[in-house]
């Protein structure tokens, strides 16, 4: 990836509980691209107290959503940094059609290659994963009764405390979040599917490493095919 003439921006989508965080970590390592999260960027600017951070803080303090133009400024600022010269993995952006249009326009204006990946996982699988999560109220250690159970059922390995279910891991809350994801994200995915290279991969019952390898293979094949067509090569 680092030898590419065209910087590659990889946009990663996935519903809550899809394993997107794990994939983001694996992909940044395999592709040698920085992982850029809009949430992290917002917190960074607020902590720095710079002009953008002050503006964002006032918006959040007023109980409003950060407007598209401010989010775009955050992304532009991040893409201008030296570590993004060869490309970047975007996580949590874009969230709206307007943001998607702005990103597409930015990519075209800067000569960036834009690749979009949607990590698709059956919602029943997601619900089963998340409703199995348990947390220690004392030390915060996370368990999963199916995937990572404690030694003693219902008790923390470290503190011995009785494990609890977080409010946002209850099935009704999870289903509501997934409905919200569909309503917000599906139009953005449909937009990208019409305008850029788009890859949807099923991660319902896959090992994270196998899934990341398939994604990397698709990215590398896409880049190689585009390079061959334009005469750039790798």
CB atoms within 10 A of CB 206: 15
- Whether 177 sits among the annotated catalytic residues: the reply is yes
- Whether 73 sits among the annotated catalytic residues: the reply is no
Q: Of residues 20, 78, 113, 129, which has the active-site annotation?
A: 20
Q: Of residues 73, 177, 197, 206, which has the active-site annotation?
A: 177
What tokens appear for 112 in the block?
A: 């960036």
- Are the C-beta atoms of residues 78 and 87 closer than 8 Å to each other? no
Cα of 142 vs its chain's centroid, Å: 21
- Whether 95 sits among the annotated catalytic residues: the reply is yes
Burial of 195 (0-12, 13-18, 19+ CB in 10 A): middle
Q: Of residues 95, 101, 197, 206, which has the active-site annotation?
A: 95
Query: Which has the closest alpha carbon to 130: 187, 101, 172, 95?
Result: 172
Q: Of residues 85, 166, 170, 175, which has the active-site annotation?
A: 166
- Are the C-beta atoms of residues 97 and 191 closer than 8 Å to each other? yes
- The residues assigned a catalytic role are 20, 95, 133, 166, 177
């Amino acid at each position: 990836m680092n030898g590419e003439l065209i910087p590659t921006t990889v946009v990663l989508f996935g519903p809550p509980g899809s394993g997107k965080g794990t994939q983001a970590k694996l992909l940044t390592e395999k592709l040698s691209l920085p992982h850029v999260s809009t949430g992290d960027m917002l917190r960074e600017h607020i902590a720095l107290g710079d002009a953008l951070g002050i503006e964002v803080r006032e918006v959040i303090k007023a109980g409003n959503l950060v407007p598209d133009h401010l989010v775009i400024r955050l992304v532009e600022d991040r893409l201008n940094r030296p570590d993004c010269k060869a490309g970047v993995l975007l996580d949590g952006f874009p969230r709206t059609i307007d943001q998607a249009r702005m990103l597409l326009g930015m990519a075209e204006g800067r000569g960036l290659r834009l690749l979009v990946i949607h990590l698709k996982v059956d919602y029943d699988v997601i619900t089963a994963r998340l409703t199995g999560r348990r947390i220690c109220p004392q030390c915060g250690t996370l368990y999963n009764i199916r995937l990572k159970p404690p030694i003693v059922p219902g008790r923390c390995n470290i503190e011995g405390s009785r494990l609890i279910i977080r409010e946002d891991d209850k099935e009704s809350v999870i289903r509501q979040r997934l409905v919200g994801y569909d309503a917000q994200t599906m139009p953005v995915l449909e937009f990208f599917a019409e305008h850029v290279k788009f890859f949807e991969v099923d991660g319902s019952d896959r090992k994270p490493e196998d899934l990341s390898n398939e994604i990397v293979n698709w990215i590398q094949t896409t880049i190689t095919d585009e390079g061959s067509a334009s005469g750039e090569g790798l």
